[in-house]
Amino acid sequence: MSKNIYLPNYEHSENAHIQSMEQYRQMHKKSIESPAEFWSEIADQFYWENPYDVRNFYSFNFNVKSGPVQVKWMEGATTNVCFNLLDKNVRRGMGDKIAFYWEGNDPEDYSKITYKKLLEEVCRFANVMKSKGVVKGDRVAIYMPMILEIIIAMLACARIGAVHSIVFAGFSAESLAERMADCKCKVLITADSVYRGDKLLNIKNICDSAMERCQNFGHEVQTCIVVRHLPRLYRSTNHSNGTNGNASDVIDLHSDVSWTDGRDFWWHDEMDDVEPACYPVWMSAEDPLFMLYTSGSTGKPKGVLHTTGGYLLYAATTFKYVFDYHPSDIYWCTADVGWITGHSYVTYGPLANGATSIIFEGTPFYPDNSRYWSIIEKYKVTQFYTAPTAIRALMKFGEEPVKKHNLNSLKVLGSVGEPINPEAWLWYYKNIGNERCSIADTFWQTETGGHVITPLPGCTPMKPGSATFPFFGVNPILLDENGQVIEGVGEGYLVFNKPWPGMMRTLFGNHERYQSVYFSKFPGYYCTGDGARRDEDGYLWVTGRVDDMLNVSGHLMSTAEVESVLTEHPDVSEAAVVSRPHPIKGECLYCFVTPNSGVPFTPKLSSELIKKVRENIGPFAMPDVIQHAPGLPKTRSGKIMRRVLRKIAINDREVGDISTLADEHIVDELFRNRPEKT
Ligand code: WT7
C-alpha cells in the first residue's frame, strides 16, 4: 500500500456501523450478488401499505439494443415517503425529538422544530394544497430560501403524491420559467425574500416575472403561495434590540410585494385554521416522488425523475452508513435544499433515520469568516457535510477563524460536488477535523440520487482526493474509448452495469433523451460522464467530467489533476484549468490561477507554477498559459463554469448564457486579464 494513507480513528471505529474493510467487503458482495435479499432487509424497516414481493424485488434493462431502458424496484408495493419520515418516527416515540434547528442568516435569528410539530405543519400544508386542487401526480414548483417552510412544502407534496420540482432560488426568472413550463406545474411555492450574501432580495418579483414568461411557453401557473419571510426577520431583529415590531412596520415592508388576486396567497393566511392531520396517499413504489432539473450539455435542462420506494431506501441507507449516523448525533449539511444534496441529505435521508439536523440560511462569510465554525460549536455538530469550494474559500483566511472555536464534537467530515484536491483535503482533515475525523469524499450525481462512491467513516482507510470504494449495490466499471473493460490499474470512463435503488428512472417527459444521454455511448452501461482512475490498491479517483479530459501530445490527462498541483503551491488559493487547441500538441493547458488574498500575481509565481506542474506530472503536462484570475466564473452552487473559461482561453467573446453565474462581471475582468500575445 502507498504511504499516503490515513487510517480511520479507531475510537470512532468501535461504535461505527461498519467497523472494518472486511465487514464492508462482505456487505458489498452480498449487495451485488443478492440485491433482493440485501435491500429487502432494509425495506423491512419501513412501512409498506401493500407489501413488496421479495421474489420479484427489482428488474432492469440497461441495454438500449434490447428494448427501452428501465429500472424498477419493489413494483406493486405501496407506501408513502412522508409517512415513513414523520408518522413512523412520531409513533416510535420520537415526537419530541428535534428534527431541525434552523439558523438564520442573522445569528440572532434561529428556531427549531420537533418531529411532531413538523408532522402537523406538513399535514396542514398538504391540506392547503388539496384546497388549491393539487392531486396525486401534479407537479409543484418550489423556489424558496433555506427556511423550514421549504422542508414542509416538499414533504406535503410527498404526502399527497404531488411531484415537487425545486428550483434553486438563485436561478433567474427565465430559468425558473423554463423549468416551470417544462414540468407544467400547477402551483408555485415561494417566499417574499431571500438572502444572497448579506443582501436581502425580493424573490416574489422574480416569481412574478417567471410566471409571466411561462405564458410565452404556453403555460399558466394557477396558484402561487408565498411565505412571509421578511417581516419575521424584521420582527426578530427588532426583538433582539429589545423592541417589538408593530403591524404598520410590517405592512410598510410589504408595500413592494406585488400581488395578483386570485392567484397569489400568503402561506400564513392559508395555514390558519386548517386541520393538522392529513391521511397520506399511498403511492406505488415506482410512482414519482420528485423531479429536479440538472444542466445538460446542450443547454436545455434535464428533469431528472426519482421515484418513491427505491429512493427512500437509498437515501436512508447512504445517510446512515456514509455519515455513520447514531441517534444522539447532530448532523449538518450546508447544501441548499434546491440541489440534490439538499434533497437527499438535508431532507429525505436524515428524516428517514429520525436524525436531528441543522438547516442554515446564511453564508460562511457572514457576519464573519468563522460562521461555519461558530455554528458547529453552538450546536455541537457531529457530522459536517460541505463542498470543496467552500473549504478552499475558507482556507484563504488561514487557521485563526477556526481556532477561535471548539470543534471537538465533530466525528465525520463530508465533501461533495467536485473532486477535492489533496491540499484542501489535508486542510479540512487537520484544521477542522483535528486529525481525528474521517473524511467522506462522496462521489455522486443528481442522477444517482445518493452517494455511489465513498469512504465509510470508521472503516475505510483514506487517501486524500480519492472517493475510494463503491457504496452497497453499486458496481463501478472503467471502460476505455472502445468500450473495453479496464481491469486493475488504469483510467477510463466511469460507468455502472447494475441499478441501485436510488438511481434516476427517466428524464421527465423525455425518455428518449434519458436513453441517449446516459445509455447510448456504451450499450449496457449507465454512463456517468466522469472519468476515473483505479490505483494499485483498487482505490477509485474520480478525475472530473470526461469533457474536462484533455489529450496533450497523446497523453490523456484531466484538468483536475493539474489543478490539484497548482493549488498545492502555498501562494495559490484556487485554480481552474481548461484545454485549448494547440497546433502541434493537439491540446494544451490554459490555467487560471487565483492567488491567496494579499499575494500579488507575479511572473515569478507563474514560472514557479509551470515548474511545479512539470515536476509533479511530467514535461508533457507543462501549462502553456498561466493567467491571473482575481476570481473564477462560478455558478451559485459553486461549480466553475469551464465552458466560459474555454472561451476566454481562445479569446472568443461568444460565451453563451452566463445568467446562472454568481457574478457575471468576472467574465469581463478575465478577458481584460488575458496575457497579451496568447
Ligand atoms: C457531478 C455531479 C452530487 C451532488 C452534488 C453535485 C462531480 C460530485 C464529486 C466527488 C469528484 C464529484 C462529478 C459529477 N462530483 N461529487 N466527490 N468527486 N467529482 O451534483 O450537479 O449532479 O454534479 O459533480 O463530476 O458527475 P451534480
Cβ of 558 less than 6 Å from ligand 1: no
Nearest to 546 by CA among 491, 596, 587: 491
Mean pLDDT, residues 240-244 taken together: 37
Is 288 in contact with 140 (CB distance < 8 Å)? no
Distance CA 245, CA 326 (A): 41
- pLDDT value at residue 457: 97
Measured from the Cα of 453, ligand 1's closest atom is 17
Is 168 in contact with 157 (CB distance < 8 Å)? no
Beta-bridge partner residues of 507 = 304
- pLDDT value at residue 244: 38
399's grid cell: 487557521
Orientation angle between helical segments 35-43 and 308-322, nearest 10 degrees:
90
Buried b (16+ CB within 10 A) or exposed e, 398-431: eeebbeebebeebbbbbbbbbbbbbbbbbbbbeb
Q: Which of 87-101, 399-413, 460-474, 627-641 has the lowest mean pLDDT?
A: 627-641
Question: How far, in Å, is the centroid of ligand 1 from the Cα of 635?
Answer: 14
Mean pLDDT, residues 145-151 taken together: 97
Question: How far, in Å, is the centroid of ligand 1 from the Cα of 451?
Answer: 10
- All residues at 6 or more sequence positions from 506 whose CB lies less than 8 Å from its CB, including other chains: 305, 514
Does CATH number 3.40.50.12780 belong to domain 80-363?
yes
Cβ of 545 less than 6 Å from ligand 1: yes
At 187-214, the pLDDT tens digits run 999 999 988 777 788 999 999 999 999 9
Mean pLDDT, residues 165-173 taken together: 89
What pTM did the predictor assign?
A: 0.85
On the question of pLDDT at 403 being above 90, the answer is yes
Distance CA 470, CA 445 (A): 14
Could you give the 3-state DSSP secondary structure of residue 158?
helix
Residue nearest to atom 16 of ligand 1 (CA): 417
Distance CA 276, CA 124 (A): 5
Residue nearest to atom 20 of ligand 1 (CA): 445
Kindly report the CATH number that applies to the domain delimited by 10-77+442-545. 2.30.38.10
Q: Taking CA 609 as the corner, what is the angle to CA 604 and CA 610, rounded to the nearest 5 degrees?
A: 100
The H or E element that residue 201 is part of is strand 199-202
At 288-331, the pLDDT tens digits run 999 999 876 555 789 999 999 999 999 999 999 999 999 999 99
Is 638 in contact with 389 (CB distance < 8 Å)? yes
On the question of pLDDT at 400 being above 90, the answer is yes
* DSSP label at residue 313: H
Cβ of 355 less than 6 Å from ligand 1: no
- pLDDT value at residue 631: 94
Q: What is each CA distance from 604 to 233, 600, 601, 611, 620, in whole angstroms?
A: 49, 10, 8, 11, 21
Q: Give 553-672's CATH code, choosing from 3.40.50.300, 3.20.20.100, 3.30.300.30, 3.40.1410.10.
A: 3.30.300.30
What is the pLDDT of the chain when averaged over all its residues?
A: 92
Residue nearest to atom 7 of ligand 1 (CA): 418
Cβ of 442 less than 6 Å from ligand 1: yes
At 345-391, the pLDDT tens digits run 999 999 999 999 999 999 999 999 999 999 999 999 999 999 988 99
Residue nearest to atom 2 of ligand 1 (CA): 445
Residue nearest to atom 5 of ligand 1 (CA): 417
On the question of pLDDT at 1 being above 70, the answer is no
At 39-72, the pLDDT tens digits run 999 999 999 999 999 999 999 999 999 999 999 9
Mean pLDDT, residues 464-493 taken together: 96
- pLDDT value at residue 10: 87
Binned at pLDDT 50, 70 and 90, residue 2 comes out as: low
Cβ of 446 less than 6 Å from ligand 1: yes
Q: Taking CA 123 as the corner, what is the angle to CA 119 and CA 127, rounded to the nearest 5 degrees?
A: 170
Residue nearest to atom 10 of ligand 1 (CA): 443
At 666-675, the pLDDT tens digits run 999 999 999 9
Distance CA 2, CA 628 (A): 35
Binned at pLDDT 50, 70 and 90, residue 234 comes out as: low
* Domain ranges for the chain: 10-77+442-545, 80-363, 553-672
What are the DSSP calls for 314-344, one per residue? HHHHHHHHHTT--TT-EEEE-S-TTSHHHII
